Amino acid sequence: MKLHGLNIPVKSGKDGAPEIPEATGSCLCGAVHYSVHAPLDKNVRPCHCTQCRKQSGHHAAYVQVERWDGVRIEGEDNVTWYHASDLARRGFCKTCGSQLFWVPDPEKTGRITGDVTGGTLDTPTGVKFAAHIFVADKGDYYDITDGLPQHDTYPDEG
Ligand SMILES: [Zn+2]
Ligand SMILES: [Zn+2]
């Protein structure tokens, strides 16, 4: 079976049925496609930190995937990985520049999650903005007026 727009081989589930991805996405030029085979966090937290602003050109909208090993990338040769810090790497298409992935280092952070960008997900995405984060570092050229919660850094989720 071939997925819509994807050449990624589809693994069969336990019952032999094709495994349907939670989501699919691609970069602007189409050199990189990905499919998500792990739960997605439906709550997107737009990030206004300096790293995200400088990389994306505005603010970033990352969608967290529960397990990064559940994300399959086709055309990974076209992904450039940039380490903005030693805690995480950011993947973007080396041809068109699409910002695609944010992946924390599991050994240094204890996290096995990874993020994909909301803008590269195929629609309907099924996810929604929930709260703004790192608002203390936001650009001075825009206001956040959507009424959603705003956090100076990352919300304390307890
Ligand atoms: Zn591209
Ligand atoms: Zn950020």
Which numbered ligand comes closest to the C-alpha of 102?
A: 2
pLDDT tier at 12 (50, 70, 90 boundaries)? low
Query: Is a pLDDT exceeding 70 seen at residue 17?
Result: no
pLDDT tier at 19 (50, 70, 90 boundaries)? confident
Q: Where are the domains positioned within the chain?
A: 32-137
CA of 90 to the centre of ligand 2 (A): 11
Closest of 105, 143, 128, 150 to residue 40, by C-alpha? 128
Q: Are strands 33-36 and 23-26 parallel, antiparallel or unpaired?
A: antiparallel
**pLDDT tens readout for residues 81-96:** 999 999 999 999 999 9
Which numbered ligand comes closest to the C-alpha of 120?
A: 1
For residues 99 and 92, is the Cβ–Cβ distance under 8 A?
Answer: yes
Which numbered ligand comes closest to the C-alpha of 136?
A: 2
How far is 20 from 22, CA to CA, in rounded Å?
7
**pLDDT tens readout for residues 21-31:** 999 999 999 99
Phi, psi of 2 (to 5 degrees): -115, 130
pTM for this prediction: 0.86
Summarize the confidence of residues 117-121 as an average pLDDT. Answer: 98
What is the CATH code for 32-137? 2.170.150.70
CA of 75 to the centre of ligand 2 (A): 25
